[in-house]
Structure 1
């Protein structure tokens, strides 16, 4: 019998959208779908490494970047809006071509607004029904909800109740009719692991802020006697080293290797991006969070988990290694008791 063909499209903004697509792709394969992948940049490179046998396509880049200061982020995003809208128009044309040439039966889009088609089921994945943007939150949320409404379904990688990860971002007073909660998505599984490191620092997110945090951490770690591993989160060949023998540096790790590093570390130092939060919950880890400057979503999540007594955080500019002592006062993340049938979730693509 002919396998239904599903195209998974992923936003290239840091690596979080790509990593949380991994369990969706694996579930699709297990449910006997033929999967295709489309993205651009580092996200596409990561998915090629994780799924070397899957056919991939390159999509137009949104070219989203940060300023060097927190205050410039919103303005930079505003100035880049025409380019983003043009990329959305171009990817809609590309999707139209791909649906025709490869006889696709469905599309799952992680935050790519133009990746839908009127003739086949199209799904949008996001954890943000509300898009936090300071004094423009109402406007940014309404614009986002308008885009979401054009898809057949919107899947939220969180739980529907009060015991959830995304807080006000993924939960409205009235849930839109096309929204389904599919539970947190993580490529990892918790298995016993011998402790090797005191801290694993895992970097992610767009430039130049990724590099700025890397430089801050390397400076803080240079004289530490703690066993630390730094995963830079870049798909590059050129490596760097440290004079500190207790510090190991890796550019990038595959899912299996990164899972081992996280599980064999006493605590994790990372951004408070939502994909990282889902991974921390799945593996039930202690974490010190450093939100990306100017990114309201990450600042909200960092404050939320500190207020809930789960994890400490500090601003990037304020980080120093002595602040990690605060980890002693927080128990860390725990997994959410929520299960979902992907057979039921994928019924949309089976014409049921």
Structure 2
């Protein structure tokens, strides 16, 4: 064992809040096991981790400039249009990693879906729940490209179970993988607590614009007809937390992990996107929910359809959602996690090699 604290670069993708928040338990485990995490990201992902770990070192990465189209049908084409900017950001990432490995004496790298964050000089890990990347009729090529990138890393950590039952289905499982996959179990920053019920409904939004704002405006109208107490977390990361009470609804711009854990545990049901990080949180807390997948995001649409078909969680398309849809929740059994004991010490042995 090395006498100094080995420095591990942790770099989540800035796409909504999910990649950053699912890295929180990893960062906490690194600190507990005697490592010194250095966090690298951009935008809201960087800001939320700065709020969670103010004592750590933070580095800024170039933005992938991921934008959603206003119409879901154009989502893929918007990504293709933005791909030159994304490729430039990945190229810049590669240069920065080379520099930082030397400058900070980095012993290992954990990249959550940042495609240029790896090094041949130190053990590098890629975290993803998408070994297959669904993009409609181009899924075969996007999946092959993603797997080609993953092969550059020493290991791929998938936050799910290897066997059935699992949460990702075909997203996180390959028949014949050509690289080392380590299924590390679902990751959540939350713990289930028995707290008195304070809210009938928790609404939590996240994800890139403009879709976050479009859904917020739609839901602000719909909840006027809801009978019960609502807490509405808008998912807007700002320097200061703000809250306001409008009739039966308490609005927050954002919440820290501690506040959000408390609010989840105090709420009867949850209305949210079907992003995989949210799915893992709901499973850990054993919560019943209703999903509104982000229009045009094939992964969220696939997960929403999978859980509805399995009788776990109902969903509706964004433009068709009405508040009365929430009555469907009672007909579904809800998400529940499966027992998964993760040995962090054993997982991090990869970073101990000389």
Q: Same fold (TM over 0.5)?
A: yes
Secondary structure in 2 aligned to 1:302?
helix
Would the aligned equivalents of 2:115 and 2:149 in 1 still touch at CA under 8 Å?
A: yes
User: Hey, what's the Cα distance between the residues in 2 that align with 1:142 and 1:302?
Assistant: 24
Q: How does 1:49-198 map to 2 (within 5 A)?
A: 49-198=51-200
Aligned-pair distance for 1:240? 7.3
User: Hey, what's the Cα distance between the residues in 1 that align with 2:55 and 2:35?
Assistant: 14
Would the aligned equivalents of 1:9 and 1:108 in 2 still touch at CA under 8 Å?
A: yes
Give the ranges of 4+ consecutive aligned residues of structure 1 lying more than 3 Å apart after TM superposition. Answer: 237-243
- Residue 312 (1) aligns with residue 314 (2): yes
For residue 254 of structure 2, the aligned residue among 252, 255, 274 is 252
Deviations 1:240-274 (A, max 9, x none): 7564x110000110101101111111100000000
The TM-score normalised by the length of structure 1 is 0.98
User: Hey, what's the Cα distance between the residues in 1 that align with 2:243 and 2:30?
Assistant: 38
**Aligned length in residues:** 351
Structure-2 residue corresponding to 1:342:
344
Structure-1 residue corresponding to 2:204:
202
Deviations 1:279-303 (A, max 9, x none): 0000000000000000000000000
User: Hey, what's the Cα distance between the residues in 1 that align with 2:333 and 2:303?
Assistant: 17
User: Hey, what's the Cα distance between the residues in 1 that align with 2:210 and 2:187?
Assistant: 27
Structural RMSD (CA): 1.2
Structure-2 residue corresponding to 1:301:
303
Q: How does 1:18-29 map to 2 (within 5 A)?
A: 18-29=20-31
User: Hey, what's the Cα distance between the residues in 2 that align with 1:152 and 1:238?
Assistant: 40
User: Hey, what's the Cα distance between the residues in 1 that align with 2:320 and 2:30?
Assistant: 43
User: Hey, what's the Cα distance between the residues in 2 that align with 1:27 and 1:8?
Assistant: 12
Structure-2 residue corresponding to 1:271:
273
User: Hey, what's the Cα distance between the residues in 2 that align with 1:336 and 1:69?
Assistant: 36
Secondary structure in 2 aligned to 1:249?
strand
Aligned-pair distance for 1:223? 3.8
Would the aligned equivalents of 1:222 and 1:242 in 2 still touch at CA under 8 Å?
A: no
Aligned-pair distance for 1:342? 1.1
Deviations 1:165-217 (A, max 9, x none): 00000001123331110111000011111101111000011100000111111
User: Hey, what's the Cα distance between the residues in 1 that align with 2:44 and 2:35?
Assistant: 25
Q: 1:91 to 1:177 in 2, by over 3 A?
A: closer
Secondary structure in 2 aligned to 1:88?
helix
Would the aligned equivalents of 2:151 and 2:179 in 1 still touch at CA under 8 Å?
A: no
Aligned-pair distance for 1:162? 1.4
Would the aligned equivalents of 1:290 and 1:314 in 2 still touch at CA under 8 Å?
A: yes
- Residue 351 (1) aligns with residue 344 (2): no
Structure-2 residue corresponding to 1:290:
292
The TM-score normalised by the length of structure 2 is 0.97
